[in-house]
Structure 1
Amino acid sequence: MTPDELLTTTRSVRKRLDLTRPVPMELVRECLEIALQAPSGGNAQGWHWVVVTDPERRKAIGDYYGRATRAYLASGSSAGALFQDDPDRAAVQRRVSDSAAYLGEHMGEAPVLVIPCIEAARLPEGNQAGLWGSLLPAAWSYMLAARARGLGTAWTSLHLVYETEIAELLGIPSGVRQGALIPTAYYTGETFKPAHRQPLDDVLHLDGW
């Protein structure tokens, strides 16, 4: 797989996660070792990675995630509610919403749940880019490494509605914040193709807006 292919075919995998096939912990460790090579502000490396494989804890996290997903889908601001005036994009959004609903019901069945975290005694007021910029690139590197090894992942954050409850469940200290919840599993089917995106010239601004 070339770098371009890896970068353009790493999709959010929801319905195609293989919920029955175990994922070796050594494979997850390989992906995390790669994630640790990502940039970190000031080289602080304040990240932590909670990997959940215990069935009861996965189910508990899945229950919280399902509750948050159902509220999100009923909110009127979910993916399926966007771009209703554009028939082509609306159809894509409905598929995204449908797959999000599926993952909401099955998150706890994913064989591995990865929660990237970062040390933060308190969230900065105003601009938080420096904080999350020291975690999210590493989480994306984890997902790319997983894709290169035949694993599917999905970037999710709806569980953060219940961040405190999940922190208590997993014993995450109060000075550590969660950044995402990444289900990890082998995927069904052969491969993935690049997603349809809006033309670059619609979003490119040279030397100013």
Structure 2
Amino acid sequence: MEFSEVVRRRHMVRRYDPDRPVPQAALRACLENAVRAPSAGFSQGWDFVVLTSAGDRQRFWTATSEDLDDEDASPDAWSVGMRTAPAVILCCSDKQAYLDRYAAPDKGWTDRDEARWPVPYWDIDTGMAALLILLTAVDQGLGGLFFGVPPECHDDVHEAFGIPREHTIIGAVAMGYAVDGPKSPSLERGRRTADQVAHWGRFGEH
């Protein structure tokens, strides 16, 4: 598939065929491309926890359910659709890898002061790796969805999957073969065009 077609076809898929597992080769392709993402200082402070077994996926959804104590609560349609994904990839960033890398002799920030960083590149770089996973999924004939993990659930997810505490879960990618489902109301907003978002030479100059 041509790259431009991959980009055009990429959209957030919220419902999957639970009876069609993601081929191992497709998962491998997603991860191989993820590590091609740019990273500051080539720090590569990212890790990915891949959940494909029914038991692992159920542990994830249990750990991220905010309403487990509410017997009357039921998942909304969006959540129900996500849970049909036969693969979930947790995307984790490692800030310490960046602080250590920039304390190396060729960088020289020996104080490891986080204040030197204008933005958290460890999270940004992991986000770019997640986007490569999404694009590769499209190229493999799959659908994907990037979504956040509720902050109050992070401790439970760390514990459930042995993720080191110094690693931040920036989000997760659900993946599988797409099936038709309800459209997201967000789509009614429409996509901003390049002419609307590009500012030539000065902000506000379109």
Q: Does 1:132 align with 2:120?
A: no
Give the Cα separation in 2 of the matches to 1:107 and 1:14: 5
Rounded to whole Å, the distance in 2 between the matches of 1:161 and 1:128 is 23
Q: Which moved more, 1:20-29 or 1:162-171?
A: 20-29
Out of 91, 99, 102, which is 1:116 matched to? 91
Change (3 A) 1:127 1:65: farther
Gaps of at least 5 residues in structure 2 are 68-74, 100-113, 181-186
Query: Is the helix fraction higher in 1 or 2?
Result: 1
| TM-score (norm. length: structure 2) | 0.73
1:198 to 192, 200, 203: 192
The DSSP-based 3-state class of the residue aligned with 2:66 is helix
Match of 2:47 in 1: 48
Residue type matched to 1:172 in 2? I
Unpaired stretches in structure 1, ≥5 consecutive residues: 69-99, 190-194
Percent sequence identity over matched residues?
Answer: 26
Deviation at 1:31, TM superposition (A): 1.3
Q: Are the structure 2 counterparts of residues 136 and 50 from structure 1 closer, same or farther at C-alpha, using a change threshold of 3 Å? A: same
Q: Which moved more, 1:180-189 or 1:161-170?
A: 180-189
Report the Cα offset of residue 164 of structure 1. Answer: 1.1
2:142 is equivalent to residue 167 of structure 1: no
Q: Cα 1:186–1:41, aligned 2, differ >3 Å: closer, same or farther?
A: same
Aligned residue for 1:178, secondary structure, equals strand
Q: 1:11/1:66 Cα in 2 relative to 1: closer, same or farther (>3 Å)? A: farther
Give the alignment of 1:23-34 within 5 angstroms. 23-34=22-33
Worse-superposed segment, 153-162 or 34-43: 153-162
Which amino acid counterpart does residue 182 of structure 1 have in structure 2? V
Q: Deviations over 1:126-175 (max 9, x none)?
A: 84342222211111111111110011110101444411110100000111
Distance 2:27 2:58 in 1: 20
Native 8 Å contact 1:62 1:104 kept in 2: no
State the match for 2:60 in structure 1.
61
Counterpart of 1:181 in structure 2 is 172
Q: CA RMSD in A?
A: 2.6
Is 1:37 matched with 2:36?
A: yes
Structure whose CA Rg is larger: 2
Higher mean alpha-carbon deviation, 100-109 vs 180-189, is at 100-109
Q: Matched residues in 2 for 1:179 and 1:56: separation?
A: 22
- How many matched pairs? 172
Aligned counterparts of 2:84 and 2:22: Cα–Cα separation in 1 = 12
